[in-house]
Amino acid sequence: MTPAVAKKLGIDLASRKEGELFKWFLACLLFGKPIQQEIAERAYTRLVSAGLRNPDKVLAAGWDELVRLLDEAHYVRYDFSTATKLLEVCQTLKQRYGNVTKLIEQARTGSGLSTRLQEFKHIGPVTARIFSREIAPIWYRFRQVDSGRL
């Protein structure tokens, strides 16, 4: 996933608004699977257009609705596992941090953010790297970012 993807998806990370940060978090969860970028983009667009723009909305949608939306976007190979992943990650986000903004603030650095993300079940180094690579330069602008670790 290239740096232009957030912009292509209509996500304004520079705003540092919680809604935009959560949309990027959601997109990265979808792009973290070994699936074609176009399908991941379509799945992201479908979920956001269905109003799933924060953890509460994802949790309220439930597993069956998430599977249906993912299937509509042809994200079928990973629909069941991704629905489970989205629910579990959103629940963990709420319990540990409350929201994405607090997760980013508490991490303090890009590498710290990557580490915290990988503490979530279902988030590995690829997803953490994708998310952190775009957030770190915006959020931690006064800190040195080790690009070899992100």
79-116 pLDDT, tens digit each: 999 999 999 999 999 999 999 999 999 999 999 999 99
Which structural domain, as residue segments, surrounds residue 134? 4-139
Domain assignment present for 89:
yes
99-108 pLDDT, tens digit each: 999 999 999 9
Domain assignment present for 39:
yes
Domain assignment present for 149:
no
Q: 1 falls in which pLDDT band (50, 70, 90)?
A: low
- Nearest partner of 112 among 87, 98, 131, 84, judged by Cα: 131
For residues 65 and 96, the answer to whether their CB atoms sit within 8 Å is: no
Q: What are phi and psi of 32, to 5 degrees?
A: -75, -15
Q: How many other β-carbons are positioned within 10 Å of the β-carbon of residue 52?
A: 24
pTM: 0.90
Is pLDDT larger for residue 47 or for residue 34? 47
The total number of structural domains that make up the chain: 1
CATH of the domain at 108: 1.10.340.30
